[in-house]
């Protein structure tokens, strides 16, 4: 099945839609109408890896938040898979140009009902005034943030208990709970990359933000940049369930997470 297929009818003729598509610079490969596909630059296998993991999640009737949605592929996928409501956010000032135009064209062509916010930082996600998302997609974002732990904390605050967080991104090839900070030495020449963690470290960042990891999908060769310890060697996807719990590893309450922390600090 083509990526992003089987969503509402387009109001463009195929020729007009193709002409509109060719005016824009696409990242995602999305089928906007039967046989009409955007020329995204991301490798097909990267999308298949994520879509395969999403196959294990039931989107039917769920409220979904897509952080860093870019052209909207996974927002539209959530709709196609039965989500009752989708909120798609991005911070277009921090990504390659043209993302808003791409999303809006795709949204119109597919008849999508997703709510699109192109100027919403993950750190400000509480401004939505929604705290009951059932599924949050956090795909290809964490390593572009200076403060990834704060992002995980803010996302926990807008999720129901037992909601699912889907995190995907680049990871280091070394072992242990470590991360590299890229400032003077950029990663792949891309100055938007800040932190890249090992698989263990990424998992601990998520777990310490009051989640329990329920599934992991490593892809060690996908988007490989370097093949030496301490450098990026692939992508990793994990699914985590939002929880409230006592956590003996917390010594003091954290204001961002206090609502989910059942510890008694005396």
Measure the CA–CA gap between 37 and 21, rounded to whole angstroms.
Answer: 9
Residue 25 burial by Cβ neighbours in a 10 Å radius (0-12, 13-18, 19+)? middle
Q: Give yes or no for residue 143 having a pLDDT over 80.
A: yes
The 10s digit of each residue's pLDDT in 218-240 is: 886 665 565 555 677 789 999 99
The 10s digit of each residue's pLDDT in 190-202 is: 899 999 999 999 9
The 10s digit of each residue's pLDDT in 54-86 is: 999 999 999 999 999 999 999 999 999 999 999
SS3 198: coil
Of 8-22, 91-105, 148-162, 200-214, which range is least confident?
Answer: 8-22
What pTM did the predictor assign?
A: 0.92
Q: Give yes or no for residue 8 having a pLDDT over 50.
A: no
Of 28-37, 115-124, 224-233, which range is least confident?
Answer: 224-233
Q: How many CA atoms lie within 13 A of 74 on its CB side?
A: 30
Output DSSP code: residue 184: S
Of 14-18, 197-201, 211-215, 254-258, which range is least confident?
Answer: 14-18
Using only C-alpha atoms, the chain has a radius of gyration, in whole angstroms, of 19
Characterize the bridge pairing of strands 133-139 and 232-242: unpaired
Domain 43-260 has CATH 3.40.50.150: yes
Measure the CA–CA gap between 215 and 209, rounded to whole angstroms.
Answer: 17
Q: Which residues contact 264 (CB under 8 A, 6 or more apart)?
A: none
Rounded to a whole number of angstroms, the distance between the first and last alpha carbons of the chain is 56
Report domain extents, the chain. Answer: 43-260
């Amino acid at each position: 099945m083509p990526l992003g297929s089987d969503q509402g009818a387009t109001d463009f003729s195929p020729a007009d839609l193709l002409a509109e598509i060719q005016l824009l610079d696409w990242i995602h490969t999305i089928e906007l109408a039967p046989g009409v596909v955007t020329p995204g630059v991301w490798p097909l296998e990267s999308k298949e890896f994520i879509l395969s993991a999403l196959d294990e999640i039931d989107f039917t009737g769920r409220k979904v938040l897509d952080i860093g949605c870019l052209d909207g592929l996974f927002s539209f996928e959530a709709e196609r898979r039965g989500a009752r409501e989708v909120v798609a956010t991005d911070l277009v000032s921090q990504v390659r140009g043209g993302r808003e135009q791409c999303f809006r064209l795709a949204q119109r062509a597919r008849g999508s009902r997703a709510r699109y916010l192109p100027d919403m930082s993950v750190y400000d996600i509480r401004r939505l005034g929604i705290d009951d998302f059932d599924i949050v997609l956090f795909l290809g974002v964490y390593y572009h943030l200076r403060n990834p732990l704060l992002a995980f904390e803010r996302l926990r605050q807008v999720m129901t208990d037992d909601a699912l967080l889907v995190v995907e991104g680049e990871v280091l090839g070394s072992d242990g709970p470590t991360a590299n900070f890229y400032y003077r030495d950029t990663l792949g020449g891309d100055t938007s990359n800040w932190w890249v963690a090992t698989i263990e470290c990424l998992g601990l960042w998520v777990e310490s933000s009051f989640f329990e990891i329920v599934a992991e999908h490593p892809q060690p060769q996908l988007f490989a940049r370097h093949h030496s310890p301490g450098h990026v060697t692939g992508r990793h996807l994990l699914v985590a369930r939002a929880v409230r719990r006592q956590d003996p590893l917390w010594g003091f309450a954290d204001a961002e997470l206090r609502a989910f922390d059942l510890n008694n600090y005396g």
